[in-house]
Structures are given as C-alpha cells and as structure tokens.
C-alpha cells in the first residue's frame, strides 16, 4: 500500500512533529509499505532521499505556521508518479 505522510517539517534530527513523522514513515516502510513524504521547506523544493525514504519538499515562505501543513497537503493532491 502507498502511504503519504504530510508534515510541515521532516527530519530525523528535529523534535516534535518532524520526529514523529520520521518515526512513522520508517516504521511503515519496515512493514513493507511504500511511503511518500511531503514536507515543507523555507529554502528549496524538490525530491531528496533521507535515510532511505523519499521526501518531496514543498517551498513554503513567509507563511503562518498553521498553514504550512495545508500547503504540503495541497501539493500532495497534484502528485503523479
């Protein structure tokens, strides 16, 4: 099953929501699921691999913190493999 995780940030080295999203993605991938992460970034947008997990960064600048996850989620609806 393909599972999309949306988070305003994603990193193994941060705390809070970023750490929870990372742990969930890693656990789901270990169970054999295809995991795709959409995360916000103030600096760049594009694909990267972090600890073996595909991460699509959505550029979010000067946005209130509570809208960041919304913009990541909106971008995930337009994703086509």
Q: Look at residue 69 and tell me whether its pLDDT is greater than 90.
A: no
pLDDT tens digits, one per residue of 9-18: 776 666 777 7
**Which tokens hold the place of 33?**
């699921």
Residue spans of the domains in the chain: they are: 2-77
Q: What is the pLDDT of residues 32-48, one digit of tens each?
A: 999 998 887 777 777 88
The overall pTM is greater than 0.85: no
């Amino acid at each position: 099953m393909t599972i999309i995780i949306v988070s305003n940030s994603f990193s193994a080295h941060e705390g809070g929501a970023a750490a929870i999203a990372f742990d969930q993605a890693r656990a789901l991938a270990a169970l054999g699921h295809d995991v795709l992460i959409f995360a916000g970034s103030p600096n760049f947008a594009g694909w990267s691999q972090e600890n073996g997990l595909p991460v699509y960064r959505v550029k979010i600048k000067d946005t209130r913190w509570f809208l960041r996850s919304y913009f990541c989620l909106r971008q995930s609806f337009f994703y086509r493999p």
